Amino acid sequence: MEKVVPEAEELPKAIVRRVVKEKLSDCSPDYDINVHKDALLAFTESARIFIHYLSATANDICKESRRQTINAEDVFKALEEIEFSEFVKPLKASLAEFRRKNAGKKGAATKEKEVKKKRKVEEPSGKSGSKSKQNKGEDDNEEEREEEEEGR
């Protein structure tokens, strides 16, 4: 009986095809290698199983450390545990490059959020010349405190 994989668990075929063809062209640059549909299915299923196995192992490592979030170090340890330690060094290099490229993007996105937040606080609440509801509420509280102090 053939096992049917739900669509949510399938890897995108176009991406798998591209990765396989790029690797094969690196191995044989003089030939244009085509990948048969069944071979592509085998690569896709193999990659899916590998990802499940690696993520389960990383999850076990994470739980041993009494954490709920898998981090990169858990994945590196899992690769070593399932005897794919030759992947650790290139993966660490790839991760460092990814972080370096995205460091500027993250900083820009954070600055943009701060600017938007600042604008919301500074903008009036629709009535011209009136204070925002938040500022008005703070002023009302301050007035109440002053009245209480005078009453004592």
CATH number for 71: 1.10.20.10
Burial of 2 (0-12, 13-18, 19+ CB in 10 A): exposed
Q: What's the mean pLDDT in 85-106? A: 92
Residue 115 lies in a domain: yes
Q: Classify the phi-psi angles of 83: left when phi > 0, otherwise alpha if psi is within -120 to 50, otherwise beta.
A: left
Residue 48 lies in a domain: yes
The predicted pLDDT at position 41 comes to 93
With respect to residue 148, please indicate whether it lies within any of the assigned structural domains.
Answer: no
In a domain, 142, yes or no: no
The answer to whether residue 116 sits within a structural domain is: yes
Contact call for residues 74 and 62 (beta carbons, < 8 A) = yes
Q: How many domains does the chain have?
A: 1
pLDDT-wise least confident of 11-20, 48-57, 84-93, 116-125: 116-125
Q: Determine the Cα–Cα distance for residues 42 and 50; give it in Å rounded to an integer.
A: 12
Contacts 24+ apart (CB under 8 A), 5-13: 5/45, 5/48, 9/48, 10/44, 10/48, 11/44, 11/47, 11/48, 11/51, 13/40, 13/44
Tokens of 95: 């991760």
Task: Work out the pLDDT band at 114, boundaries 50, 70, 90.
Answer: confident
pLDDT tens by residue, 37-63: 999 999 999 999 999 999 999 999 999
Q: Which two tokens stand for residue 20?
A: 């396989």
Whole-model pTM: value is: 0.60
Any domain includes 41:
yes
Q: Where is pLDDT greater, at 71 or 134? A: 71
Whether 53 maps to a domain, the answer reads yes
Q: Distance (Å, rounded) from C-alpha 11 to C-alpha 147?
A: 66
Whole domain around residue 91: which residue ranges? 7-124
What is the predicted pLDDT for the residue at 1? Answer: 53
Residue 29 lies in a domain: yes
**pLDDT confidence of 152, banded at 50, 70, 90?**
very low
pLDDT greater than 70 at residue 138: no
DSSP 41-82: HHHHHHHHHHHHHHHHHHHHHHHHTT-SS--HHHHHHHHHHT
pLDDT confidence of residue 61: 97
